A and B are shown apart, each in its own frame.
Chain A
Amino acid sequence: MAEPLFSVRGLKVALPDMTRKPLIGRAPLAEILKGLDFDLPKGSVTGIVGESGSGKSTLGRTLVRLIEPSAGAIHFEGRDIGHLSEAGLRPLRRDLQMIFQDPMSSLNPRHTIFTIIAAPLKQNGLGDRLKERVAEALQRVGLPQNFASRYRHELSGGQRQRVGIARALALSPKFVLADEIVSGLDVSTQAQILTLLEKLAAEMGLTVAFISHDLSVIRRLCQQVIVMREGRIVEMSATDALFENPKEAYTRDLLAAIPLPEIDADWLRPAASAPA
């Protein structure tokens, strides 16, 4: 088995709970992640699934160190990056990239696509041969070169998401966090983006954490799956094993709740699953 890129042990994250903040004084802490242990093997695509509030996005953001854990270790290539300072993280930022859910809010409306893709290159000391590198990034995601001079609003949803992928991959990162990147797209566009990500991950040997609420998408794309609920890992295993033989009742409930595009008269019968 390949050496893991990430090795996470006893990971806990607590964040201020603003809904319980008193008028004066600090908000009390709420524990979001309650002790997680897992590895992400090099070159693998790992699906992270869970319902809203399960902590899947917080986990992703902690892996790329946008959030500092309150306890536990995050070993990245053997080194604990859990409590590195911003300066200490600086050289790692290039390797830890992120594709966002909503390109409408993650692409600056005032910048051209060129500027958007070039910005992180400059930031990370890849400012030489900028034109070439941006051209290469656009080509990689299947966008024509003249898109470099366009703005966000001139692009379709799928094209915008391609720009998000181009920006993240232009840096040739070791790890990419993809947080619900297809959930706002039509099925046809979704199919294009998934096929593209699948191809690029294989070509570039990327390690990907793919956060999604959609188990059908995860089964298609990922080699292993982490099922989360209320800040804990419910079940974690190789994709085929998880789908063919889910061990936990919660995983089975999640699967049973997916409306497959096929006729099933019993699906809506109340007896079919736990009461509301």
Chain B
Amino acid sequence: MSACLDIRSLSAVLANGHRVLRSVSLTVEPGEVRALVGESGAGKTMIGKAVLGVLPKSVRIVEGEMLIEGEDLGRLDAKERRTLIGARTALIPQDPLTALNPSRRIGPQMTDRLVRILGWSSEKADRRIRQLLDEVQIRDPGRVLKCYPHELSGGMRQRVLIAAAFAAEPRLIVADEPTTALDVTVQKQILRLIAQLQRDHGTAILFVTHDLGVVAKISQKVSVLYAGKVVEEAETAALFAAPQHPYTRALMAATPRYTDPYASLKPVDDTVLAGLAAEIAATDQAWRPGHG
């Protein structure tokens, strides 16, 4: 059985030739959550955008393949690619307020995608949306569907978007920092919902986050990213039991824990950064676009 998402040696550059993704390879198996963790600028959101086919114009993919359930996106024309991505993937975005149109009610925003892109009847779409709102524990779907986005709390808006993402039964969801803007207690509820729906629907998730705590709780596999390069890749349990790469260890040491107040809280130190710089330079040395 082929992986739900298979990225092979993906490299991307900016218009000025600066390399932003460095031969990234990763897979997400059916029904599995893979976390993509890194600091800002590591390229984790970029990978999510590449999968969904929404990279900014300034970023150009120069090598590598992306396969969704065995179908190579590179071999499809633009329309086929959009159709495939639309049918099999969905996004849970970071900021529900910017992801929702402020001047339209929730209901039509949620059903639109099902009706227009997947060609469902509006009755079927409406039934489906209500069922999903029930699954994300929204008690009065009738009221919520009539609301405008600003009338809902941050947690409620994120629930709506989770329901919308799962509604079309995608095989793969890209979740881009979906809980970063939320309070901790709401974050926990939302993570629990995502985990619940993910299990119930057997959906694979590529979960982008900067928070090692979230990685530990939600994912089974993890890729640690630095400067567009996967520096470590492991089962999540193995990564936390014995992180291999010095950068992973440094990130863990920099993360404060209320259970361990006397830890030194060390920033990633210069030796580790120098090691990373050398690693990146070696990768780029060995790399010639088009011959990868």
Contacts and interface: CB of A to CB of B under 8 A. Distances in A.
Interface residues of A, number: 40
Contact of A186 (B210, B237, B259): B210
Interface stretch (A5-13, A119-127, A201-209, A264-272): A264-272
Contacts of A253: 185
Nearest to A187: B254
B210 A268 contact: no
Contacts of B137: 276
A195 interface: yes
B189 to A, nearest CB: 4
B251 A260 contact: no
A215 B258 CA distance: 6
A216 B154 CA distance: 23
A115 interface: no
Interface stretch (B123-131, B261-269, B282-290): B261-269
A219 to B, nearest CB: 4
A130 interface: no
A219 B189 contact: no
B223 to A, nearest CB: 16
Contact of A217 (B39, B256, B268): B256
Interface in A229-255: 239-240, 243, 253-255
B222 to A, nearest CB: 11
Contacts of B261: 219-220, 239-240, 243
Interface stretch (B14-22, B47-55, B211-219): B211-219
A228 to B, nearest CB: 12
A54 to B, nearest CB: 9
Interface in B187-220: 187-189, 191-193, 195-196, 210-218
B213 A261 contact: yes
Given A51-B185, A254-B184, A268-B218, A188 B267 contact: yes
A190 B254 contact: yes
Contact of B191 (A189, A215, A268): A268
B120 interface: no
Chain A binding surface, main DSSP class? helix
Contact of A187 (B39, B183, B191, B195): B39
Nearest to B38: A186
Contacts of A268: 191-192, 195, 217-218
A216 B217 contact: no
B13 interface: no
B258 A255 contact: yes
Contacts of B186: 51
A213 interface: yes
Interface in B228-261: 236-237, 240-241, 250-252, 254-259, 261
Interface string B115-144: 000000000000000000000010000000
A257 B265 contact: no
Interface string B133-159: 000010000000000000000100000
Interface string B174-186: 0000000001111
A254 B212 contact: no
The 3 closest A-B pairs by CB, nearest first: A259-B213, A261-B212, A51-B183
Interface of A: 51-52, 157, 186-192, 194-195, 213-220, 239-240, 243, 253-264, 267-268, 270, 273, 276
25 contacts: A51-B184, A51-B186, A52-B154, A157-B40, A186-B210, A187-B212, A187-B254, A187-B255, A188-B268, A191-B254, A191-B267, A219-B256, A219-B261, A239-B261, A243-B258, A253-B185, A255-B258, A258-B258, A259-B191, A259-B214, A260-B259, A261-B212, A261-B215, A263-B216, A263-B236
Given A191-B265, A216-B257, A263-B241, 14 more contacts: A51-B183, A188-B254, A188-B268, A189-B267, A190-B256, A213-B183, A219-B256, A220-B261, A243-B258, A259-B191, A259-B213, A261-B240, A263-B236, A276-B137
